[in-house]
Each structure stands twice: as structure tokens, then as C-alpha cells.
Amino acid sequence: MIKQLFKSKISLMLLKFIVIISGFFTFISTLVQVYIDYRTDLSTIQRSITQVKDGYSHSIANSLWHLDTEQIKVQIEGILRLRDIEYIKIIERKRGKTSLFIEKGEKNITRKLESRFNLRYGKNTNNIIGEVVIHVNLDHVYERILDRFFIILITQMVKTFLVSFIILFIIYITVAKRIIKIGNYAKRLGHQNIEEELIDTPPNISTVNELDELVLSLNLMRTNLKNYLNNRDEAEEQLREYKTHLEDLVMKRTKQLNDKNELLEQKLREINTMQDQMIAQEKLASLGNLTSGIAHEINNPLNFVINFAQISSHSATELKAKIEKLNQLSQDEKAVLEKELEDISTMTKEITTHGRRAENIIKSMLEHSRSSELSQEKESIDIHEILEENLNFAFHAMRAKYRGFHVNLTKDFDQSIPQLMLSKPDIARVFLNLFSNAFYSLIKKSENKSDDNNDFMPELIVTTEKKNGLVTIKIKDNGLGIDKELIEEVFNPFFTTKPAGEGTGLGLSLSYDIITNIHSGNIAVNSEIDQYCEFIIQLPI
Ligand SMILES: Nc1ncnc2c1ncn2[C@@H]1O[C@H](COP(=O)(O)OP(=O)(O)OP(=O)(O)O)[C@@H](O)[C@H]1O
Ligand SMILES: [Mg+2]
């Protein structure tokens, strides 16, 4: 117990302060007390001296007057018995002279208090016959004072220590011990012993002090902690449940997503197939659009071919008859014959030319209707030839559909452009689409303008130019133009402003592919609504 008491740091700290502070006050109070004692002793001495003066001066003066030395000695002995008076001398004064009459006691006192009084005789108080000198030894006073000082100090100190120890003990019992217990409890408090309550209320103390409040607070904290832990456990349990649920959900969703993905992939495949089909259909449709134009186009040369062939055959029959009678013919008739022969030769040339025309048309038609795959096989091509071919092709196709369609055509070809290595069917497809788009726009604008009774002259300008290792082809029409907001979209697949059945919106997207991917070129568009539309193609030489 005592050992524990001295282990308690708070008790030791209190003990230290109590000892220092009470020691200081004990010392001060002892000093005050000793000083008071000292003053008392001094006044006692003063009183004894007064007592000697009052009690002995008359009888000593008497004895001195009568020179009764024995009597004086008796009186001096009596005075010397008084406390602390250790020396006395009597000085006689006769006719103005003084002389030592008698002295007794210790003369050499180091610390002394000297007191003198005169001896008078008779009624005349001015008759001084001698003087008494008394020495009081102050050493005794000091010794007593010192002894008292130590006694008081020691008793006070002992008292202080005793009181301090008792206070320490009380503090240990009422505070430190409880704090240690509370501390140990707080250290121990955890998940395992959360049910254990802190019981620490000294039964004989009725009033609630700060420590009791601390115990109450700790118990409250324990209850809160318990509730918190319970809630946490519940939450964790719930979280575990959620997690399991979530995992199930994720698995389910993943499966659903996978299913959806598969579905999407399948749909994508279907869309791709549909797209391929649409491309093929678009080609067929444009071919359909062109068929009537082509028919008309082929019809003309065929008419020529047929007419010239008939005339040639007729001329040939005539010639045959004439050749039979060749020798009978006159000079003029021979000349006519030669002329006819020349005509036949001219006509056969015409037949060949128009036959070639029909052949070319059929060729380009065949090229256009080739498989939907972009061919990518390149050959040396005259860009102007292919431009002309497709311009004619598109124009006649349009003319066949929209009778009376006219266009002011301006061609500005740079003849220095060399043969280019191009994929002919693909490039043809690009130009055909560009010309068809331009003519369509011009036709629609003409229709609109004729509604407004406005004069509008459709124009198409085709220019080629060689510059910086590039061939630039510009196709510009003064048709409807393209809205600013839509211009970004024209190269997107399926973007079309044409009514259903008239366009698929794949023309420019295919053209973009052909120019950029197959020919490493560039295609761009400039336009202002209702003013013009210009497509610019750049191809590397
Ligand atoms: N010269 C032009 N003038 C005005 N608009 C144009 C011109 N060229 C293209 N466009 C616009 O761009 C759209 C897309 O053209 P694209 O050639 O890709 O498809 P389309 O012509 O509509 O259909 P398809 O080419 O399959 O017949 C057209 O519908 C039209 O709105
Ligand atoms: Mg088009």
C-alpha cells in the first residue's frame, strides 16, 4: 500500500508541492515567532533593570553615603542573581571626581546590554553621589532564541510532514487510486469487454465529485461505444449481404450484357450485310436511273450505224451492178462511181465511230455495274477522258429523266496534266456521282425558279489544274448549294436530302473513301446556300 502510494506520481507531485510550500510558511512563521520571543526577552531584561533601579538605587545610595561596603556587597549579590545580569559596578562621585567603588561579576562579555543610573542622596535630587553600571549578557538571550527557533522549526516540520503524508494518503485513496483504476479500465476497454461496467463509487461519499462524473462519463462512453459497435457490426453484416447481393447482381447483369452484346454483334453483322446490300442496291438504282439515258445514248449511234449500214448496203448493190458494166462506163460515170466508193468509205468510218460510241457507253455502263467491292487495281488513265465520259453519261441520264434540261458547260482543262495511275471504275464512280449531284441540284433549282417565273441559267464549271505535284479537279455548279449546318455531314454515309427512292446518301461517302483511301488524295466541299456548290478533288501525280 505504502509502496503503491509512493509510486503514484500525482501523489508524489502533490507531496512535493505541499512540503515546499508549507516548509516555506513554517520557516517564515518560526522566524516571526522567534522575533516576537526575542522582543519579549529584551523587554523582560528592561523590566529587571527598571526593577533594579527602582528597588535598589535608594538603598545602595544610602550604603554608599555611609560607606557601608558590606551592605553594598549584599545588595550587589542580590542584583547579580537576577536573570542575565552578569556584571555590576558602582562608581563613587566626590566633589566632582569619580572613582570605582566596587565591581563584581564577569567583566568581559562580548555581546552585552549596558545600563547606567545615578545614585542620589538626601532631599536634594541633584545631589548625585555615584553611578551604577549594569551589564546584561545577551549571549543567553541569543542562545535561548536559537534553541527556541530550532525547536519550533523541527516541531513545525514534523507536523507539516505528518499532515502532508496524511493528505497524501487521503489523496491517494480518494483520487490517485481511483484515477489508476479508471486508467486501467480505459486501457482494457475494447470489443471483448464492452459489457463490463466501471464500478468505482466509494460508498461512504454521498456527494458526487469530478471523479464520479468521470466514471459516469466513461460508462456513458462505453454505452455509446457499445451501441456504435453494435451498429457497426449490423452495418458490416448488411454490407456483406449487399456485397453478395451485388456480386449476384453484377453476374446477372454481366450475363445480360453479354447476351445483349451478342445480340448487338449479330445486329451489327446484319447492318453490315444490309449496308452492303444497300450499296449494291444504290448502284442498281443509279444504273436504273441511267438506263433510259443510256438507251437514248445508244440509240443515236445505232441509228447512225443502221442508216449508214443501209445506205452502204444500197450503194454496194448499185456498185456491184456498175462494176459488172465497168468497161462500158463513160468517164463521168466512172467519176460518180469513185465518189460513191468514197461515200461508202466515209460511211463505214462513221459506222465505226458510232459503233465505238455505243461500245464506250456499254463499257462505262458495265464498269459502273461491276461488283460493289472497290477495285483498287490501278492503270494509266487520262483524267480528262474519264471526266468527259462521265459528264456525258450523267448529262444524258439526267436529260432522259428531265426533258428539256440544259446546262451552260464550261471546261477549263490543263493539258499539261500527265496520265495518272488510277482505279478507273472507282474514279468513274466518283465523277459520275459528283456530276449527277450537280445536275440534280441544277434541275431542282430550275424547277423552283420556273415556279417563281425567274430566269435561271444552270451552269457547270469543270476545271483541272496541275500544281505542286498535285492534280486539282474542281466541279462547280450554281445550283441549290448546301446549308452551312449540313455541310459537315455530306460525306457521312446515308446523308441525303433527296426524297426517298431518289438517293441513298452513299455517293459522297463512297467517293471520300475512293479519293482518300485508294488514291491518297483529298476531297473537300465549298458552298453557299442558293449560290453555288463546289467540290475540289486533289490527286497526287
Ligand atoms: N452539287 C451539290 N449541290 C447541292 N447539294 C449537294 C451537291 N452534292 C451533294 N449535295 C448534297 O449532299 C447529299 C449527299 O450526296 P450523296 O451523293 O452522298 O448522296 P445522294 O446524292 O443524296 O444519294 P446517291 O448519291 O446515293 O444518289 C445530297 O443529298 C445533297 O443534299
Ligand atoms: Mg449522289
Of 220, 177, 221, which is closest to residue 200 (Cα–Cα)? 177
Q: Which of 508, 512, 525, 528 to mutate to test the pocket of ligand 1 (most atoms within 8 A of CB)?
A: 508
Ligand 1, pocket-test mutation among 283, 436, 437, most atoms within 8 A of CB: 437
**Strand 459-467 versus strand 408-412 pairing type:** parallel
Q: Which residues are near ligand 1 (CB < 6 Å)?
A: 282, 433, 437-438, 441, 477, 479-482, 490, 495-498, 503-509, 533
Q: What pLDDT, in 10s, does the model give residues 261-313?
A: 999 999 999 988 887 777 666 666 555 555 555 565 566 667 777 777 777 77
Q: Are 57 and 45 in contact (CB under 8 A)?
A: no
Residue 61 exposure: Cα atoms within 13 Å on the Cβ side: 20
Number of the ligand closest to the Cα of 282: 1
| Atom number of ligand 1 nearest to Cα 479 | 3
Per-residue pLDDT of 453-490, as tens digits, reads 678 899 999 999 999 899 999 999 999 999 999 998 99
Ligand nearest to the CA of 509: 1
Query: Rounded to an integer, what distance in angstroms lies between the CA atom of residue 342 and that of residue 340?
Result: 5
Which ligand places an atom closest to the C-alpha of 285? 1
Block means of pLDDT (10 residues each) for the chain, 541 residues, are 72 83 87 90 89 87 88 90 90 87 89 89 78 91 89 87 84 83 85 80 66 86 89 93 94 94 94 79 59 60 75 78 76 80 80 73 58 67 94 84 89 96 90 94 88 82 95 97 93 83 79 91 95 97 90
Domain spans, the chain: 2-177, 377-541
Nearest protein CA to atom 25 of ligand 1, as residue: 507
Q: Under a CB-based contact definition with an 8 Å cutoff, are residues 48 and 179 in contact?
A: no
Q: How far is CA 234 from the centre of its chain?
A: 34
Distances (CA, A) of 361 to 303, 366, 453: 15, 8, 37
Q: What angle do CA 347, 353, 356 make, to 5 degrees?
A: 140
- DSSP code per residue over 154-180: HHHHHHHHHHHHHHHHHHIIIIIHHHH
Q: What is the pLDDT of residue 51?
A: 87
Query: Could you tell me which residues come within 8 angstroms of residue 52 by beta carbon, excluding any fewer than 6 positions away?
Result: 79, 82, 85, 132, 134
Q: What is the pLDDT of residue 178?
A: 84
* CA 256 – ligand 2 centroid, Å: 42
- Give me the phi and psi of 463, to 5 degrees please: -125, 145
Radius of gyration from C-alpha coordinates of the chain: 73
Using most ligand atoms within 8 A of CB, pick from 440, 496, 526 the residue to mutate for ligand 1: 496
- CATH architecture group of domain 377-541: 2-Layer Sandwich (3.30)
